[in-house]
Amino acid sequence: MKVLVPVKRVIDYNVKARVKADNTDVDLTNVKMAMNPFCEIAVEEAVRLKEKGTATEIVVVSIGSKSCHEQLRTALALGADRAIHIDTELNLGSLQVAKLLSKVVEEEQPELVILGKQSIDADNNQTGQMLAALTNRPQGTFASEVVVEDNKVAVTREVDGGLQTVSLNLPAIVTTDLRLNEPRYASLPNIMKAKRKPLDVKVAADMGLELSSKINLLKVEEPSQREGGVMVESVDELLEKLRNEAKVIA
C-alpha cells in the first residue's frame, strides 16, 4: 500500500508570532521554521504503518519555495522513501493546496493520504477535507487511531463529546490529531541517508490549475491584550471578590 503524506513548513512551534508594524501580515523574517507539528504526526503514522508491513512506500510532498526541502529531508530521515517538491512562491490558500495535492494523488494513486489536521500558521483546518472532496474519497479527520484492514481503514476521531469511530473504504484521506502518536526524532545515520533519497521538483505554475486566491488579507493585528488583575491573599478574600466585586457567584 502506498501512503502519501503532505507536509508544510511553518513557524517553529516554540516561536511566538509577531505582527509586522505596518499590519500587513505576521513577520517571518529570520524566524525559526520547522515542520508543522500535525504533519510530523502524519509522517510518524505512515512510518509506523510501514514498520507493521501495511504500507510499502511512503511519498512525502510539500508545496512552497525551495526552503521546504529542509522539511522534506526531515521526513525522509524519519522514514519516508521519496519526496516531491511543488515549487511556488505564491502564498496559497487551502483550496489551491488541495487542488495541487489532488494532481499528485491522481498521478501517484496512493491508497491512503495522511495529513495534519491543521497548520499552526493559518489554522484553517481545511486541506485534508478539501482534498477528500476533490478526489471523491472518504475522510477520517482528527484521528487518534488508524487501523488498516481488508481494503478499509477504521479511524477513531476526536470529536467534541468524546470519540467517534468510522470505517472508510480505501482509498481514503486521514487527518491527524495530537494523540495519534508521539513522533520520533531522526537519527544521525538516517539524516545522512536521507540526503541520497530521491526528491523530485515540479513547478506549480505548470500544473494547469488556477492558483490565485479570492480571499484578500486586509489586515493583521495583535489580539487585544488582557490586563492582569489583582492578587488575593486567601481563599476567603477570593470568594469575597467573586461574590461582591465580580458578582459571578452567589
Partner 1 sequence: MITLLVAEHDNSELKLDTHKAVDAITKMGGDIHVLVAGAGCQSVAEHAAKLQGVSKVLVADHDLLAHGLAENLAPLVVDLADDYSHIVAPATTTGKNFMPRVAAALDVEQISDIIEVVSSDTFKRPIYAGNAIATVQSEYAKKVITVRTAAFDKVSETGSAEIVSLEAVADAGISNFVKQELTESERPELTAAGVVISGGRGMQNGDNFTLLEGIADKLGAAVGASRAAVDAGFVPNDMQVGQTGKIVAPDLYIAVGISGAIQHLAGMKDSKVIVAINKDPEAPIFQVADYGLEADLFEALPELETKL
Footprint of partner 1 on 17-46 (CB under 8 A) = 17-19, 26
Q: How far is the CB of 14 from partner 1 (least distance, A)?
A: 10
Cβ atoms of residues 147 and 38 within 8 Å: no
Footprint of partner 1 on 112-131 (CB under 8 A) = 120-131
Cα torsion 146, 81, 41, 29: sign: negative
Q: How far is the CB of 237 from partner 1 (least distance, A)?
A: 8
Q: Among 65, 107, 109, 159, indicate the residue that binds partner 1 (CB under 8 A).
A: 159
Could you identify the residue written with the cell 501580515?
A: 25
Nearer to partner 1, 159 or 205 (CB): 159
Cβ atoms of residues 144 and 169 within 8 Å: no
Q: How far is the CB of 222 from partner 1 (least distance, A)?
A: 7
Footprint of partner 1 on 46-105 (CB under 8 A) = 93-95, 98
Which of 60-97 are b and which e, b meaning 16 or more Cβ less than 10 Å from the residue's Cβ?
bbbbbeeebbebbbbbbbbbbbebbbbbbeeebbbbbb
Q: How far apart, in whole angstroms, are the C-alpha atoms of residue 113 and residue 175?
A: 8
Q: How far apart, in whole angstroms, are the C-alpha atoms of residue 46 and residue 181?
A: 11
Contact between 239 and partner 1 (CB under 8 A)? Answer: yes
Q: How far is the CB of 66 from partner 1 (least distance, A)?
A: 23
Stretch that binds partner 1, among 52-60, 75-83, 136-144, 185-193 (CB under 8 A): 136-144
Footprint of partner 1 on 185-214 (CB under 8 A) = 213-214
* Distance from the Cα of residue 201 to its chain's centroid: 21
Q: How far apart, in whole angstroms, are the C-alpha atoms of residue 212 and residue 103?
A: 17
DSSP state of 122: T
Q: Among 84, 132, 146, 148, indicate the residue that binds partner 1 (CB under 8 A).
A: 132
Nearer to partner 1, 184 or 197 (CB): 184
Nearer to partner 1, 190 or 213 (CB): 213
